[in-house]
Amino acid sequence: MKVSKLASYSQKVLEAVHLASKSIMEIYNSDKLNFESKSDGSPVTLADKTSHEMLSLHLETFGKIPILSEEGDSLKDDIDLFWLIDPLDGTKEFINRNGEFTVNVALICEGVPILGVVAAPAIDETYIGFSDNAYKIVNGQKMSISSQKQDKKSCAITLSKSHKSDADKVFVNLCREEFGEVKELPVGSSLKLCRVAEGKANIYIRLGPTYQWDIAAGQAIVEASGGCVVNLNNEPLRYEFISEKKNPFFYCAGDVSYPWKDLLEHLV
């Protein structure tokens, strides 16, 4: 797909995400934070459902591009071009009112996320990525972003805001042995990938289950900024129109030249 078309799509997606974010914040700032548990035990709120409806309504105006959403029907098909969305990523962060939840929208073409938008409405941060174009919008100001080059003297690692796993602890220690100084950046939702994309973190690893919609938009932004999101064999992640499909273990890095795989081998 041509860059000019992706640029045009990105503006329309931003409009859709802005409207969904507005509906989320109305609920976030009210007393309607009650939640239910889905079949897998994860929480779902009125905001998840409202955002899904808002995004679906506006993305349908693009034409006949199917939508795969965390809050949509269970679907499985052989489709090359589709929207992959998480209407509210970080529902636990939303319920805890710490602000670090996001709206994620990705356009998938032949298994690859070619456009991604991640918005964190409570902290007024929005990220966009397509082709080699990566941007961050804060207070209405749009700026280009680039993933950080590893300086070999220190390492910043993004970690889950909700919990620090045993694998996270081991990896932090490995990085401390390798680099000496390690800075831990606990953050919620797909903001972990965005912190790498904007150069505030060197790496984010995930050695646990995630779904496709959790990271597809973030991957598009990271790759547009010059970074990578790959499995532990250094292979790019692939996306399919299958609701139940989970991601393999992966890592997201800003400096693609650094041998992160060698370091991860000590962990896995």
CA angle 77, 13, 247 (to 5 degrees): 45
Lowest mean pLDDT among 20-24, 79-83, 261-265: 261-265
Same domain, 94 and 165: no
Question: Does a structural domain hold residue 233?
Answer: yes
Query: How far is residue 62 from each of residues 3, 48, 57, 77, 240, measured CA to CA in Å?
Result: 16, 22, 10, 20, 20
Distance CA 45, CA 38 (A): 10
CATH of residue 171: 3.40.190.80
pLDDT of residue 41: 59
Tell whether 149 is covered by a domain: no
Same domain, 20 and 123: yes
Confidence (pLDDT) at 101: 96
Decide the pairing of beta strands 81-89 and 102-109.
antiparallel
Whether residue 122 sits in one domain with residue 167: no
Mean pLDDT score, 197-212 = 94
Q: Do both 130 and 174 map to the same domain? A: no
pLDDT band at 183 (very low <50, low <70, confident <90, very high): very high
- Residue 150's pLDDT is 64
Taking only the tens place, the pLDDT of each residue in 31-67 is 766 767 666 657 788 999 999 999 999 999 888 899 9
Lowest mean pLDDT among 31-40, 175-184, 222-231: 31-40
By CB atoms closer than 10 A (0-12, 13-18, 19+), residue 259 is: exposed
Q: Please indicate, yes or no, if residue 234 is contained in any of the structural domains.
A: yes
Confidence label for 26 from pLDDT (cuts 50, 70 and 90): very high
pLDDT at position 13 is 97
pLDDT of res. 37: 64
Beta bridge pairs of residue 106: 84, 116
* Tens digits of residue pLDDT in 123-144: 999 999 999 999 999 999 999 9
| Same domain? 160 vs 139 | no
Query: 158 or 1, which is more confident?
Result: 158
**Structural domain that includes position 214:** 154-265
Residue that wins the pLDDT comparison between 144 and 261: 144
CA–CA gap between residue 14 and residue 207 (Å, rounded): 31
Which of these three, 144, 166, 190, is where a domain ends? 144
Report the range of poorest mean pLDDT among 24-33, 127-136, 204-213.
24-33
* Mean pLDDT computed over 155-173: 87
Provide the pLDDT confidence category of residue 115 given band limits of 50, 70 and 90. very high
Least confident of 25-39, 46-60, 83-97, 165-179: 25-39
Q: Are residues 76 and 164 in the same domain?
A: no
The pLDDT tens digits for 228-239 are: 999 999 999 999
Residue 9: inside a domain, yes or no? yes
Number of domains in the chain: 2
Q: Give the CATH number, domain containing residue 124.
A: 3.30.540.10
